[in-house]
A and B are shown apart, each in its own frame.
Chain A
Amino acid sequence: MVTELKVGSYTLKSRLLVGTGKYKDLVETGEAIAASGADVVTMAVRRTNLGQHPNEPNLLDVISPDRYILLPNTAGCHTADDAVRTCRLARELLDGHNLVKLEVISKSRTLYPDVVETLAAARTLVAEGFEVMVYTSDDPLIAIELEQIGCVAVMPLGAPIGSGLGLQNPYNIREILDQLSVPVIVDAGVGTASDATVAMELGCDGVLMNTAIAEARDPVKMAHAMRLAIDSGRLAFEAGRMPRKRYADASSPETGLIE
């Protein structure tokens, strides 16, 4: 019932995009991701531990590239060069799949996006044929620039990564939505289901989250809650809310009353 979302060359049935970090184990990861109903699932690229546990289960055994649209991220990269290298490795790892989540994060306790390095990496990646979904600040000017560079989705933060504070600046997010024609997906900051619904009611095209599900007491149940929250928010946005009024307006007819 919710309209599909087109991101670059992909069509998503679910507007909830989820991460795979911070889960207790791969079993819980698989169950929570399945319960979320997400099509797009993020993953990280890291050095293989050499000489240790050669038969350790791999994330890709649980989150199959045949079932999900994998979105490798560049988390942990602090420069454009490292982010570009990570994306090239991810493309090779996933047999030529070119959809990536670009994030170049500052070395500060805010984990705020380094937009200078992000812009540089985005230019290189788009030129190399990647479809770039880009994590950025909620600065409308930077969001416009990232769209002009050719990113397929712009993903402003709702609040700092892992903070669970909910949308802190809905006015900036609204401004970004008004200015861009590519999908705008809130990435980071959601804490609970109502935060996700607020983002969707605002008109966001989707929400990407990880910690809100993974650090819930029951991640599988929270994944289900988020799925419903995203659908509810989107449906409410599409339906169009009633106008706000300052005074009461009776729901039952005020004529035909008995005397």
Chain B
Amino acid sequence: MKLKVNGEEESVEVSTLADYLATQELVGKRIAVEHNGEIVPKSAFTTTQLRDGDVLEIVHAIGGG
């Protein structure tokens, strides 16, 4: 299926958000995820099913003023 992650189209074969994060080595990292415009709590990563055309934003903290 195709996902749009941080603005880029990606073809992946995963079923849950946790699966996708594992492919990116992001499990256990300090990140936050928005799925189709809605915040996904960390506790729901394993139960969030991804579907073709879904949009993800994955963010982390960086330096800023």
Contact of B32 among A19, A23, A90 (CB under 8 A): A90
Interface residues of B in 20-65 (CB under 8 A from A): 24-26, 29-34, 37, 39-42, 57-65
Most B CB atoms within 10 A — which of A48, A50, A75, A91?
A: A48
Query: Which stretch (A51-59, A163-171, A198-206, A227-235) binds chain B?
Result: A51-59
Q: Which interface class (under 10, 10 to 19, 20 to 34, 35 or more) fits A?
A: 35 or more
A60 touches B65 (CB 8 A): no
B6 touches A47 (CB 8 A): yes
**11 further interface pairs, Cβ-Cβ under 8 Å (given A43-B61, A47-B58, A48-B60):** A19-B63, A21-B65, A29-B63, A48-B29, A48-B59, A50-B24, A58-B30, A89-B59, A92-B39, A92-B41, A188-B65
Decide yes or no whether B5 CB sits under 8 A from chain A: yes
The 20 sampled A-B contact pairs (Cβ below 8 Å) are A19-B64, A21-B63, A44-B65, A45-B32, A46-B59, A47-B6, A47-B7, A48-B58, A50-B8, A58-B30, A58-B61, A60-B30, A60-B61, A89-B59, A92-B33, A92-B40, A92-B41, A93-B61, A188-B65, A211-B65
CB-CB nearest 3 A-B residue pairs: A44-B64, A19-B65, A210-B65
B65 touches A89 (CB 8 A): no
Decide yes or no whether A42 CB sits under 8 A from chain B: yes
Known A48-B31, A50-B24; judge A89-B62 contact (CB<8 A). Answer: no
B51 smallest CB distance to A (angstroms): 19
Task: Please name the residue on chain A nearest to B37 by beta carbon.
Answer: A85
Decide yes or no whether A72 CB sits under 8 A from chain B: yes
Binding site for B on A (CB under 8 A): 19-23, 26, 29, 42-48, 50-51, 54, 58-60, 70, 72-73, 75, 85, 88-93, 161, 188, 208-211
Contact of B64 among A47, A73, A91, A92 (CB under 8 A): A73
B59 touches A93 (CB 8 A): yes
Please measure, in the bound complex, the distance between the C-alpha atom of A185 and the C-alpha atom of B23, giving whole angstroms: 44
Which residues on the A side are within 8 Å of B30 (C-beta)? 58, 60, 93
B63 touches A44 (CB 8 A): yes
Contact of A42 among B5, B29, B60, B65 (CB under 8 A): B65
Task: Please name the residue on chain A nearest to B38 by beta carbon.
Answer: A88
Please measure, in the bound complex, the distance between the C-alpha atom of A51 and the C-alpha atom of B61, giving whole angstroms: 17
A165 smallest CB distance to B (angstroms): 16
Known A58-B30, A60-B30, A89-B32; judge A20-B64 contact (CB<8 A). Answer: yes
Please measure, in the bound complex, the distance between the C-alpha atom of A20 and the C-alpha atom of B61, giving whole angstroms: 10
A72 touches B25 (CB 8 A): no
B6 touches A48 (CB 8 A): yes
